Structure 1
Amino acid sequence: MRKKDTWHDPDDAPELDDAFFERADRFDGPRLMRRGRPPAEVRKVSLTVRYDPDIIEAFRTTGLGWQTRMNDALREWLRQHAKA
């Protein structure tokens, strides 16, 4: 459903500034081009897991990106404990 315009005279149309074009949908012919991060080559697996509260708090207090750092810590543990 199209939103009803609140203006009738083209001179009253809102200005198309940079912010408008940053939010605008982009098309390649008839295909809508999605904005945002491109799909990763290796996709993460979503699952539910439980950790002790102190472990989560320790990672969260490190700020944004704490889940990535937690993933890196688990990867490092696996590297150190890999069977030779």
Structure 2
Amino acid sequence: MTTAKKRRGFSDKDLREVSDSPELTKADFAKAKPFAEVFPDLSASIRRGRGPNKAPTKKQVSLRLSPEVIRHFKKGGKGWQSRIDETLRKVVRRKAS
């Protein structure tokens, strides 16, 4: 457990001292129920998620881009897809005028 000790900062002995949970048996696992069955309301609230857009402003597409284009936009950090979209919109506006 040397890697876990380095990573988490505590030893097997530390774990044994704070662990008062008995080890689960096959019988315990056989009696186990799914989370959604035990806590249906909580499960429903977690799975609700974001939901569909009421008025979507963008369309999802699959697009293949060259590695150099992806590298260029990704080096700017998060939001690289939005920056690609903004760049393309500028080109479209320029060509339309």
Q: TM-score, normalised by structure 1?
A: 0.52
Aligned pairs for 1:4-83 (under 5 A) are 25=45, 34-36=48-50, 39=53, 41-82=55-96
Unaligned runs of 5+ in 2: 1-33
The alpha-carbon deviation at position 3 of structure 1 amounts to: 3.3
| Greater fraction of residues in helix | 2
The alpha-carbon deviation at position 36 of structure 1 amounts to: 3.4
Count the aligned residue pairs.
59
Unaligned runs of 5+ in 1: 5-20, 27-33
| Deviation digits for residues 21-44 of structure 1 (CA, Å, limit 9, x no counterpart) | 9x9829xxxxxxx45377252342
| Deviation digits for residues 54-84 of structure 1 (CA, Å, limit 9, x no counterpart) | 01110011111110111010000101111x4
Q: Is 2:3 the counterpart of 1:3?
A: no
Q: Which amino acid aligns with 2:95?
A: H
CA distance in 2, matches of 1:40, 1:61: 32
Divergent runs of 4+, >4 A: none
The 1:35/1:52 distance shift into structure 2, 3 A limit, reads closer
The 1:59/1:41 distance shift into structure 2, 3 A limit, reads same
Which of the pair has more CA radius of gyration? 2
Q: Percent identity?
A: 29
| Greater fraction of residues in strand | 1
